[in-house]
Structure 1
């Protein structure tokens, strides 16, 4: 109960706990944003977000606002010729172990020009370090902001939105800001623009009438065009690269272009040839298409090459990096998950982290805070005891909190926003909740708990393409492409154990013992279809099995593999002892497609299940039951959880951690969760594993699960 009350306090304080603090930093001679980011254990993207003008470079004496990550500052060193990890460790009087902790990327080697952390800067005054002071966001930003000059609007013009246009692109074409457009088209605060929309664009005093402006260095090349005939093996990338334009610019020149690029088709391209692929792509190099929102920093992290090398291979990058641009990189330098697959198809996303931009995560669970009386502690404790959905929500949330902190130690920072969905079938309230908050830049929503609520959120946030991860429901969504089902369905679990038995069913006597009723009749028919020669034990009225009926289906000289399908404690307590008595004499092994709560009843003896070597499919490894995995020890998460809350985590707390930690690592190893869902292989954590697939119609589902058996001495062992 103390744990639940503690989590409630954390929940109430969530707004303040995750409020970002800042400190100011005066740029020293020779410093750049990347080196400053290393000093404060943050990322260049985080600094650019608060200091947009820093993208154009920083000057000595300039003051920047720096987000505080761990309130530590680090000494930095720029790698020079002849530097080694060992020499630098000696030079800065730190151990090589500490060096690698400060610079995990150094395990793959260090390069000339690379910036490394080589020790912490000792704090003399906790409120001021080398001219940097820790203050609230408003104070720092207020001290840096420039009061904009108010501009007078003289008239408006109308712009008709074209295919694939964005607000940002339109704002640049007309020399206004996105906010200027939204102010005069207020529906855009809650809606996205669509083709053929008509927008009011303001024209400000002392400015010429806005005209369409191409904002990159390709203006002159786009001014004169010619026709180009598609050749075999041509791609949009190769054509764009050859003519020095982005894929987006190629598509704007050819709005009706067939994306299949049939040989012989003619398209419009710039007259001048910017660079020939044949001349630039030398042996040992390859082409790479820049992804949306990708930065040069991310490319450097993913490839492990230096900035100087990248610019030498792609000199036009100094004009700016754009999505769709095709650049040259050394072959086999991109870190992908395909070469990280370990035994059993498990992948370690921690080895391929490259996207360290802060993640914006929303948690939506039924806390029902409005029904609690915090002044009456006894009433609150009684409510917590009796409200199952609330206990599950609190357990999930406690796991998410530790996942966020664990991801932070790997360089992934998270802005966590928590929302109370209150109850099931709460469509009107949830729509109001979403309407009152800005979800446009949210990377992912974890929750809601109930399927109905989760589908409402998926529907409302589909316009932003925001992924919704359902933490508990086993129901699939056939409606929404942005819906992620994290728990395998009952059908998937059934198929897993049926497939296992099917692979080794030769010379086995398959027996089916199924409870009466529609639900169990369906699984019985499914088993009969898979095992046509299976014997069916007759069940009497009241779900009772006589020993004589069992003897008729057992085989004395052949192993007996028995499927027991029931959720009736009385039936299980009747059948299992009968099977247990025959376990040795008739080589009986027990299976079930659904190990439900009836199997955990006090009337069912685990000693008998152990003797029968019960096999069953499971969503998780069942930590509480101490599943044995050879060589596995208690995880850091379990230790951390027990230290934080004073008790071992239950299955829901572990599930909250596993889901959130997997999501954050996937975001750190990819541009977004849709790209991360395509990773080949399975991710696995404390109890749960994940391997997502996309349905033809609908969202994503997790097809990863476990097959567990009762072994001797009451131990549980993972079979698959």
Structure 2
């Protein structure tokens, strides 16, 4: 079931489509650069007449290769040199349509056959809403004569957006979220995730409202429930291919995101929250900063010449060494090798072992005359605490360099960081010192009468950035919570900032 913010009523277009008096029609195959306005001007017709003769285009953009019926006055001369113009005889029928109400046993496939349409795609071209909702009594557009069926079904081409080079003043956004509507109503297990999706939707709604407030843009957003039995992702994808949007936010889960791979929607879609490696090997816009980016930032920071703190002249400055601790297999081993690559043996100390963690006991015997820059490459919170327990058992000078997936997403509480000097590399952090954050919270509470949660902020940031990218060419932007950096035509977010834990809070380091 599709959840719409803006309703297009195709039935009204069908009712309005009456045979045109004192007119003949020309079949025109759409080519790049065509718009309804340019066709009306070229043929001496009107936008209203073309829309009436082709009710199937009332809810979407033109599609290259599609055939439109162009009504023209009988006394209008048609330029015979234009290949795409095929004038009909003066007695050619104008397309006629009628309203059909869905019956209990009707299906798109059965109506396609009974109406004599060439295939089910032709049915959905006339009735795009039928892809996302289907119920007894639903009004459909039905061809009433042969001329009404004489159009081509749009092909699934990546060049299917409206044929003008720019977006114009209308932007169409599709947002695919797991609302779990059936389970939500029945208090099922999907309820909690459904509530998170509705929070995300509220963030998207607010971003669009703010974006259009001071501009001439018209942004239409349509929401889909990817967990509803009717709204299978495959069905949603097929519907969106016909009515191709400018931006697709979601789906959320990697298995459903991968269903967009290889479709015309792949390069329009955004990965919102999935950290799965498979998502990175696609044409999707990947808003999630990968762990590899954080390791790269930590390595680059460590390789920089470090300025010593001279505020206290009595402080003894110790020589420092990179201390890498982890498991000798899997992603931990890969990260450890990356961090020590290109370093001389005397510049680092690598302590790693198997899943027994017995190797961590070596930390209690480290040389206390050396300062250590600690990096833990295993993300298991219990492992991290075991490393810190061993280090705390002796008097050592060490700084811990971590990232948000360890420090913020692992369930570690703030008291863990109070006993060390901790520096965190992150891409997501709601900083209440920023004016943008307090302004967003104020607007959100006024609009929805509640405090925004994490998902609401994510929805706001993701929608706002990608609208900026589409309309202004923005490649880098810091939202309320999330940062974005898509430099050098990359589709991988590489935004990173550094924060240090001071005064029981994470403070941004310039």
Q: Same fold (TM over 0.5)?
A: yes
**Is the contact made by 1:514 and 1:565 (CA closer than 8 Å) also made in structure 2?**
yes
User: Residue in 1 aligned with 2:80?
Assistant: 211
Which secondary structure state, in structure 2, belongs to the residue aligned with residue 448 of structure 1?
coil
Pairing 1:188-199 to 2, within 5 Å after superposition? 192-193=63-64
Counterparts in 2 of 1:416 and 1:183: CA distance versus 1, 3 Å: closer
**Is the contact made by 2:53 and 2:71 (CA closer than 8 Å) also made in structure 1?**
no
Pairing 1:339-378 to 2, within 5 Å after superposition? 357-369=169-181, 371-372=182-183, 374=185, 376=186
Pick aligned residue for 2:487 from 684, 693, 699 = 693
CA distance in 1, matches of 2:488, 2:243: 23
Shift of the alpha carbon at 1:716? 0.8
Pairing 1:166-185 to 2, within 5 Å after superposition? 166=34, 173-175=42-44, 179=50
The answer as to 2:498 corresponding to 1:717 is: no
User: Residue in 1 aligned with 2:130?
Assistant: none
User: Residue in 2 aligned with 1:569?
Assistant: 381
Counterparts in 2 of 1:391 and 1:565: CA distance versus 1, 3 Å: farther
Pick aligned residue for 2:338 from 526, 532, 539 = 526
Pairing 1:81-230 to 2, within 5 Å after superposition? 149-150=20-21, 153=24, 164=32, 166=34, 173-175=42-44, 179=50, 192-193=63-64, 205-212=74-81
Counterparts in 2 of 1:554 and 1:177: CA distance versus 1, 3 Å: farther
The answer as to 2:449 corresponding to 1:613 is: no
CA distance in 2, matches of 1:361, 1:138: 23
Which secondary structure state, in structure 1, belongs to the residue aligned with residue 175 of structure 2?
strand
Q: Which moved more, 1:565-574 or 1:201-210?
A: 201-210
Unpaired runs of 5+ residues, structure 2, are: 84-160, 308-318
**Is the contact made by 1:545 and 1:574 (CA closer than 8 Å) also made in structure 2?**
no
Give a deviation string over 1:246-299, Cα, whole Å, max 9, x none.
xxxxxxxxxxxxxxxxxxxxxxxxxxxxxxxxxxxxxxxxxxxxxx99xxxxxx
Shift of the alpha carbon at 1:384? 1.4
CA distance in 1, matches of 2:320, 2:348: 9
Pairing 1:319-718 to 2, within 5 Å after superposition? 357-369=169-181, 371-372=182-183, 374=185, 376=186, 379-380=187-188, 383-385=190-192, 388=193, 390-411=194-215, 413-422=218-227, 429-436=232-239, 440=243, 442-457=245-260, 459-462=262-265, 467-474=268-275, 475=277, 476-480=279-283, 483-504=284-305, 507-532=319-344, 533-539=347-353, 542-547=356-361, 549-556=362-369, 558-582=370-394, 585-593=395-403, 595-596=405-406, 600-601=410-411, 606-621=414-429, 623=430, 627=431, 629=433, 635-643=438-446, 647-668=450-471, 670=472, 676-677=473-474, 679=475, 682-693=476-487, 700-711=491-502, 713-718=503-508
**Is the contact made by 2:399 and 2:421 (CA closer than 8 Å) also made in structure 1?**
yes
Give a deviation string over 1:401-424, Cα, whole Å, max 9, x none.
22223324333553221112227x
**Is the contact made by 2:233 and 2:256 (CA closer than 8 Å) also made in structure 1?**
yes
**Is the contact made by 1:511 and 1:562 (CA closer than 8 Å) also made in structure 2?**
yes
User: Residue in 2 aligned with 1:317?
Assistant: none
Give a deviation string over 1:661-688, Cα, whole Å, max 9, x none.
22334455x3xxxxx14x5xx3112111
Shift of the alpha carbon at 1:615? 2.0
Counterparts in 2 of 1:451 and 1:190: CA distance versus 1, 3 Å: farther
Counterparts in 2 of 1:593 and 1:664: CA distance versus 1, 3 Å: closer
CA distance in 1, matches of 2:457, 2:408: 23
Counterparts in 2 of 1:157 and 1:570: CA distance versus 1, 3 Å: closer
Counterparts in 2 of 1:180 and 1:528: CA distance versus 1, 3 Å: same
Which secondary structure state, in structure 1, belongs to the residue aligned with residue 396 of structure 2?
coil
Question: Number of residue pairs matched?
Answer: 411
Which secondary structure state, in structure 2, belongs to the residue aligned with residue 550 of structure 1?
helix
Give a deviation string over 1:634-666, Cα, whole Å, max 9, x none.
512223334555654332221111111223344
CA distance in 1, matches of 2:27, 2:469: 44
**Is the contact made by 1:450 and 1:473 (CA closer than 8 Å) also made in structure 2?**
yes
Shift of the alpha carbon at 1:535? 0.6
CA distance in 2, matches of 1:610, 1:518: 30
**TM-score when normalising by structure 2:** 0.65
CA distance in 1, matches of 2:425, 2:230: 34
User: Residue in 1 aligned with 2:135?
Assistant: none
Please give the root-mean-square deviation of Cα atoms over the aligned residues, in Å.
4.8
CA distance in 2, matches of 1:599, 1:368: 25
**Is the contact made by 1:484 and 1:700 (CA closer than 8 Å) also made in structure 2?**
yes
**TM-score when normalising by structure 1:** 0.48
Shift of the alpha carbon at 1:707? 2.1
Give a deviation string over 1:452-473, Cα, whole Å, max 9, x none.
43354464435xx973222113
Give a deviation string over 1:434-493, Cα, whole Å, max 9, x none.
44468646332211212343354464435xx9732221134555453xx32112222112
CA distance in 2, matches of 1:180, 1:641: 39
Counterparts in 2 of 1:546 and 1:693: CA distance versus 1, 3 Å: closer
Q: Relative contact order (C-alpha < 8 Å, sep 6+): which is higher?
A: 2
**Is the contact made by 1:565 and 1:593 (CA closer than 8 Å) also made in structure 2?**
no
User: Residue in 2 aligned with 1:260?
Assistant: none
